[in-house]
């Protein structure tokens, strides 16, 4: 057992010792749309944080804690906040690089099933469960700020509806969309 742990620790230190690792975090504005068009929706603000790894000149992969949610005004005119964080994996491919190092990129993302809170006037009125993974597409613009720092503007949109359920009954199928303003630092 000690040998196995030693091998795992040494192997993982080789991976993390490679260049190209970074950390990111930032501000998100979230919204979603439900198939029921009689309801109205508003965006919500939150944060995200994660790690990334540059693979060569074009590809970047990453993972992090990202937000899903927004506000829905129901038929009783009550404003319900849907709120929660998801574990997300993503990868991007650089499409265009400018002379100053700024670049445009594109890629897929997958957010795993999560529990979201439903709140009315700050009080938890129930839990919504994401029954599906959220498959989405990312489109971003990066501006370098020196050798190790960068600012990223990111647009993200679900590719298919994500089924939400409350208790034993289905609630709605939703399409999430996010706009990120992130700061990253290469390690």
| Ranges of residues in the chain whose predicted pLDDT is under 70 | 1-18, 36-38, 168-169
pLDDT of residue 154: 97
- Which two tokens mark 14? 């080789």
Looking up tokens 């937000």 gives 67
- Which two tokens mark 16? 């993390």
CATH assignment, 20-186: 2.40.160.20
pLDDT in tens, 145-180: 999 999 999 999 999 988 888 776 677 788 889 999
Q: 123: which residues sit within 8 A by CB, 6+ positions away?
A: none
Mean pLDDT across the chain, nearest whole number? Answer: 85
Spell out the domain ranges in the chain. 20-186
Question: pTM of the full predicted structure?
Answer: 0.81
List, in sequence order, the alpha helices (H) in the chain. 2-17
pLDDT of residue 8: 47
């Amino acid at each position: 057992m000690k040998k196995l742990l030693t091998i795992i620790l040494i192997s993982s230190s080789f991976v993390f010792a490679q260049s190209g690792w970074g950390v990111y975090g930032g501000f998100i504005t979230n919204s979603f749309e439900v198939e029921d068009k009689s309801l109205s929706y508003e965006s919500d603000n939150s944060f995200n944080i994660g790690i990334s790894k540059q693979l060569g000149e074009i590809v970047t992969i990453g993972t992090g804690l990202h937000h899903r949610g927004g506000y829905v005004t129901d038929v009783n005119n009550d404003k319900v906040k849907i709120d929660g964080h998801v574990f997300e994996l993503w990868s991007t491919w650089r499409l265009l690089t400018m002379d100053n190092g700024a670049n445009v990129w594109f890629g897929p993302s997958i957010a795993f099933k999560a529990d979201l809170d439903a709140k009315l006037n700050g009080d938890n009125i129930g839990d919504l469960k994401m029954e599906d993974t959220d498959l989405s597409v990312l489109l971003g613009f990066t501006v370098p700020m020196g050798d190790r720092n960068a600012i990223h503007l990111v647009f993200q949109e679900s590719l298919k509806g994500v089924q939400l359920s409350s208790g034993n009954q289905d609630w709605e199928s939703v399409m999430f969309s996010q706009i990120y303003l992130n700061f990253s630092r290469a390690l």
